[in-house]
């Protein structure tokens, strides 16, 4: 009877969450909090315990996520406004040339989306693919799909983008491991969904570039040096990876002082603070920005971050309710009893929520909340947890369609019909998701 009640509580919570988002059109932050309270009530928690659980879940999650997402967003805003994102794309185009432009687009998307939000990066780089289409006369999709794939892969798999940060925090995964596994999985996912599928669909659907003012010949004068841009993006990633390698023993260090220095410099907080300071000076002051301009850029960047931070916090509350009610432990026992793999469960739950309600962020956070209780107290290594994060991220990327704002953004900016958007963008996200899950599954079970 207890198991039935807990199962009913979970289903009620998910049903309420989807109803509020899809039918009532309530914000995901409020919807997740209400769903968490519904689960608590249905599972039999008293009022005081429910409030305390929600507060604990919010607090535990936001202490890390709010700091990292905030720092990452400020960093990305300075890179964007300094012209660093376009500098990367221009440099790669120069090196690869027009004939290998799709490769340059994948790499541009893959790199730029590390510090810059997906939609912002797409808007920044879209003039480049318009220019390529006009220059070559080939379908816009030949260049757009690789760019979108690179952006989507990094957005889903590689911190400090908000999605993997949120999921990693909710399930307790180390960011260094997530970055490492994210790169290993992301590269083949981008190649298959971006280069291979992009070439395929580009030959079958011809799309001309929409009319626009000539921007492609805008000079890089005043843009920061490419070495500077790449170095600043690499600094926090390298510091976090070194710290993870030392902690896990991959890099043996016997000196206590060195270990402490690595631990402080390689913590995501410190690593991103250093990146921000470097960007503030090298991409800001050195490029002619005033301190007041940089302050305004940093302040404005907090607006989109606020929504993601609050949704993540509510996801942490949802997770905590599942843990405190024992619902998560019940699911874990049931899955273990039938031999159902946690990795597959993570992918399927994330995929289902993504397809039903559209938002990849909500799908990933909801799935993380359901998966976290399953691994509570279990003997999962940092490597295992990182693989679970990527499995959730893969599911959260699947089958973008009409209930996803990304679908309409691609539709409008590329000048596609709805059918063409389904055949290109929707299929690309689905290929990306299955490739990502397939690769991470191989890694998980082989190593």
How many domains does the structure of the chain reveal? Answer: 1
Residue-level pLDDT at 348: 95
Task: Count CA within 13 A, CB hemisphere, residue 247.
Answer: 21
The domain in which residue 415 lies consists of 2-446
Please tell me the distance from the alpha carbon of residue 5 to that of residue 133, in angstroms, as a whole number: 58
Predicted confidence band of residue 336 (pLDDT cuts 50, 70, 90): low
Element (H, E) at 221: none
Of the pLDDT bands very low, low, confident and very high (cuts 50, 70, 90), residue 216 is very low
How many other C-beta atoms can be found within 10 angstroms of the C-beta atom of residue 15?
Answer: 12
How far apart CA 130 and CA 133 sit, in angstroms, is 5
- Estimate the share of the chain in helix, then strand, then coil, as percent rounded to the nearest 5: 80, 0, 20
Structure tokens at 147: 């760019």
The confidence score (pLDDT) of residue 56 equals 92
- Rounded CA separation 376/320 (Å): 11
**Average pLDDT over all residues of the chain:** 90
The pLDDT of 318-347, averaged and rounded, is 83
Q: What pTM does this model have?
A: 0.89
Helix (H) or strand (E) holding 282: none
Does 222 have pLDDT greater than 70?
no
Backbone conformation region of residue 13, classed left if phi is above 0, alpha if psi is from -120 to 50, else beta: alpha
Span 245-279, pLDDT tens digits:
998 888 888 888 999 999 999 999 999 999 999 99
3-state secondary structure of 326: coil
Structure tokens at 371: 């998966």
Residue 378 has pLDDT above 90, yes or no: no
Return the pLDDT at 115.
87
Higher pLDDT, 209 or 437: 437
pLDDT score recorded for residue 158: 93
DSSP structure string for 357-409: H--HHHHHHHHHHHHHHHHTTS---HHHHHHHHHHHHHHHTS---TTSHHHHH
Q: What is the rounded distance in angstroms from the CA atom of residue 385 to the CA atom of residue 2?
A: 29
Q: What is the pLDDT of residues 28-61, one digit of tens each?
A: 899 999 999 999 999 888 989 999 999 999 998 8
- Give the chain's radius of gyration (CA, Å): 22
Supply the DSSP symbol for 195.
I
What value does the mean pLDDT take over residues 109-120? 90
Pick the more confident residue, 301 or 148: 148
Q: Which band of pLDDT confidence, cut at 50, 70 and 90, is reported for residue 1?
A: very low
Whether residue 220 has pLDDT greater than 60 = no
Let me know if 290 is exposed, middle or buried by CB neighbors in 10 A (0-12, 13-18, 19+). Answer: exposed
Write out the two tokens for 216: 């492609």
For residue range 15-29, list pLDDT tens digits in order: 998 899 888 888 889
pLDDT at 328: 72
What confidence score (pLDDT) does residue 219 get? 42
- What pLDDT, on the 0 to 100 scale, is given for residue 214? 46
In the chain, the percentage of residues whose pLDDT exceeds 90 is 61
- Distance between CA 297 and CA 34 in Å, rounded? 34
Task: State what percent of residues in the chain have pLDDT above 70.
Answer: 97
């Amino acid at each position: 009877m207890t198991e039935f009640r807990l199962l009913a509580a979970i289903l009620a919570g998910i049903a309420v969450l989807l109803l509020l988002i899809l039918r009532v059109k309530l914000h995901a932050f409020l919807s997740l909090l209400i769903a968490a309270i519904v689960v608590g009530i249905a599972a039999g928690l008293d009022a005081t315990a429910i409030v305390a659980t929600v507060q604990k879940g919010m607090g535990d999650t936001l202490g890390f996520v709010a700091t990292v997402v905030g720092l990452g967003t400020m960093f990305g805003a300075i890179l964007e406004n300094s012209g660093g994102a376009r500098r990367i794309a221009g440099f790669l185009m120069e090196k690869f040339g027009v004939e290998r432009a799709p490769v340059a687009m994948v790499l541009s998307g893959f790199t730029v989306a590390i510090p810059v939000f997906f939609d912002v990066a797409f808007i920044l780089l879209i003039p480049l693919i318009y220019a390529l289409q006009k220059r070559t006369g080939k379908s816009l999709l030949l260049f757009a799909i690789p760019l979108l794939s690179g952006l989507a892969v990094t957005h889903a798999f590689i911190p400090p983008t908000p999605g993997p940060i949120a999921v990693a925090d909710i399930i307790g995964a180390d960011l260094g491991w997530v970055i490492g596994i994210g790169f290993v999985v992301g590269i083949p996912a981008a190649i298959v969904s971006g280069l291979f599928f992009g070439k395929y669909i580009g030959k079958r659907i011809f799309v001309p570039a929409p009319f626009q003012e000539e921007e492609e010949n805008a000079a890089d004068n005043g843009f920061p040096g490419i070495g500077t841009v790449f170095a600043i993006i690499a600094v926090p990633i390298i510091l976090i990876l070194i710290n993870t390698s030392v902690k896990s023993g991959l890099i043996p260090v016997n000196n206590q002082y060195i270990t402490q220095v690595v631990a402080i410099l390689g913590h995501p907080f410190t690593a991103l603070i250093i990146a921000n300071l470097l960007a503030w000076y090298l991409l800001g002051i050195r490029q002619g920005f005033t301190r007041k301009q940089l302050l305004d850029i940093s302040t404005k960047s907090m607006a989109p971050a606020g929504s993601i931070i609050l949704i993540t916090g509510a996801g942490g509350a949802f997770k905590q309710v599942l843990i405190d009610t024992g619902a998560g432990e019940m699911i874990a026992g049931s899955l273990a009893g039938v031999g159902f793999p946690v990795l597959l469960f993570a992918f399927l739950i994330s995929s289902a929520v993504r397809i039903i309600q559209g938002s990849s962020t909500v799908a990933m956070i909801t799935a993380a909340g359901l998966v976290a209780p399953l691994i509570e107290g279990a003997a999962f290594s940092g490597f295992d947890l990182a693989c679970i994060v990527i499995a959730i991220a893969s599911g959260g990327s699947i089958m973008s369609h009409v209930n996803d704002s990304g679908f309409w953004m691609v539709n409008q900016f590329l000048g596609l019909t709805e059918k063409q958007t389904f055949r290109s963008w929707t299929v690309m996200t689905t290929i990306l998701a299955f490739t990502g899950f397939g690769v991470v599954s191989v890694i998980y079970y082989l190593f």
